[in-house]
Amino acid sequence: MKLKPQIKQKIAFALLGLAAVTVIVPVILILAILVQRGWPAISWQFLKEMPRMGMRAGGIFPAIIGTLCLVAGAISVALPLGILTAVYLVEYAKKNWWTRMIEIAIVNLAGVPSVVYGLFGLGLFVIFFHFGSSILAGSLTLAIMELPVIITSSKEALMSVPRSFREASLALGVSKWETIRCVVLPNALPGILTGSILGVSRTAGETAPILFTVAAFYLPRLPQSIFDQCMALPYHLYVLSTQVPNVRPALQYGTALVLVGMVFFLNLVAIIVRSHIRSRKQW
């Protein structure tokens, strides 16, 4: 039997729509369940207290602080490095095999498995540089991991600054670096920030790279220096759900909800910044 093309189209479109729904429904389901089961556990004490009784009671305060430390450490290293690399690629690099090599290196950095970053961080920072298992080692590992995200988004932001801006500045006798510093970068900054925040939100949820470089199993105090170990939210969730028996589910779901909430909050900020810039752009 040969179907009419119009009927075929209807069937095909219905199936495609169904696929889209199949992708979206689990997202909504996951979020709904997290909120439904995690919300009752969240209270001021849960957020502000140390874990007690082998993590079966108490709060997750040190894990929150630990994750914030790691994220802040990673971004303060990766942001300048990433932006300058993007500046090099967009403003200075010629189209030759060397530039192509750098691009391939970035693509590959983006593809290296997170656990391999963990091994690398262990080998280089923890052992070779003698940082030990510390916030410093963990942050640096995460920084290298989020570098490709920051470079890629910074590149796009820099490329979206019109050529005429640069030409006008250069025509006035301003040097190349000053053109970049005073004209190109300020215009690209919001775009750079958006991409970087997205990069950061990914870092906040990563577990494998911090497993051997910083994460403490159970450490009910705050880190004192960058050479201290610390707890981190994603690792804490891993410990609660697989390593410690008889943890109340509410505690697990509460931790998961705080982690997801933190990541989504960062994403939301990025999206708001992005739409704000788009509406203000004059050119």
Partner 1 sequence: MRKFREAIIEKAILLNGFACILFVILIFVFLAKDGLTLFRTIAIQDFLFGKIWSPLAEPPQFGILPLFLGSLVVTLGATVISVPLGIACAIFIGEIAPRWMRETLKAGVELLAAIPSIVIGFIGMTLLGPVVKNLFHLPTGLTAVTGSIALAFMAIPTMVSIMEDAITSVPRTYKEGSLALGATHWQTIYRVIIPAASSGIVAAIMLGIGRVIGETMAVMMLTGNASVMPKTILAPVRTMTATIAAEMGETVRGSEHYFSLFAIGLVLFGITFLINFLSDMARHRKIR
Among residue numbers 235 through 274, which ones bind partner 1 (CB under 8 A)?
A: 235, 237-238, 241-242, 249, 252, 256, 259-260, 263-264, 267
**Residue 116 CB, nearest approach to partner 1 (Å):** 5
Cβ 101 to partner 1, closest distance in Å? 6
Position 115 contacts partner 1 (CB under 8 A): yes
Cβ(101)–Cβ(93) below 8 Å:
no
- Three-state SS for 37-58 is HHHHHCCHHHHHCCEECCCCEE
Q: Which stretch binds partner 1 (CB under 8 A): 153-161, 165-173, 200-208, 275-283?
A: 200-208
Radius of gyration of the CA atoms of the chain, in A: 23
- Using the rule CB under 8 A, give the single segment among 51-59, 82-90, 154-162, 272-280 that binds partner 1: 82-90
Distance CA 228, CA 216 (A): 10
The verdict on 194 binding partner 1 (CB under 8 A) reads: no
Residue 47 found at the interface with partner 1 (CB under 8 A): no
Q: Does 34 bind partner 1 (CB under 8 A)?
A: yes
Q: Which two tokens stand for residue 235?
A: 């690792």
- Contact, 187 vs 158, CB < 8 A? no
Q: Does 127 bind partner 1 (CB under 8 A)?
A: yes
Using CB under 8 A as the binding rule, whether residue 133 contacts partner 1 is answered as no
Closest CA to 48 of 61, 35, 32: 61
Closest CB 158 distance from partner 1, rounded Å: 12
CA dist 239 → 31, 105, 156, 201, 258 (Å)? 21, 34, 39, 21, 15
Q: Which of 74, 188, 194, 204 binds partner 1 (CB under 8 A)?
A: 204
Distance between CA atoms of 149 and 107, rounded to whole angstroms? 10
Q: For residue 3, state whether it binds partner 1 (rule: CB under 8 A).
A: no
- Is 153 one of the binding residues for partner 1 (CB under 8 A)? no
CB 93 within 8 A of CB 102: yes
62 makes contact with partner 1 (CB under 8 A): no
Q: How far is residue 132's CA from residue 86's CA, in Å, rounded to a whole number?
A: 31
Q: Does the footprint of partner 1 cover residue 28 (CB under 8 A)?
A: yes
Cα 252 to Cα 264: distance, rounded to the nearest angstrom:
18
| Stretch binding partner 1 (CB under 8 A), from 39-47, 163-171, 186-194, 199-207 | 199-207
Give the one residue of 30, 32, 168, 182 binding partner 1; rule: CB under 8 A: 30
Span from 16-24, 156-164, 165-173, 221-229 in contact with partner 1 (CB under 8 A): 16-24
Provide, rounded to whole angstroms, the least separation between the CB of residue 281 and partner 1. 19
Residue 104 found at the interface with partner 1 (CB under 8 A): yes
Six-digit token string for 120: 């690398």
Distance in Å, CB of 135 to partner 1, minimum: 19
Q: How far is the CB of 208 from partner 1 (least distance, A)?
A: 4
At 215, is the secondary structure helix, strand, or coil?
strand
Cα gap 236→220, rounded to integer Å: 12
Residue with tokens 């796009």: 156
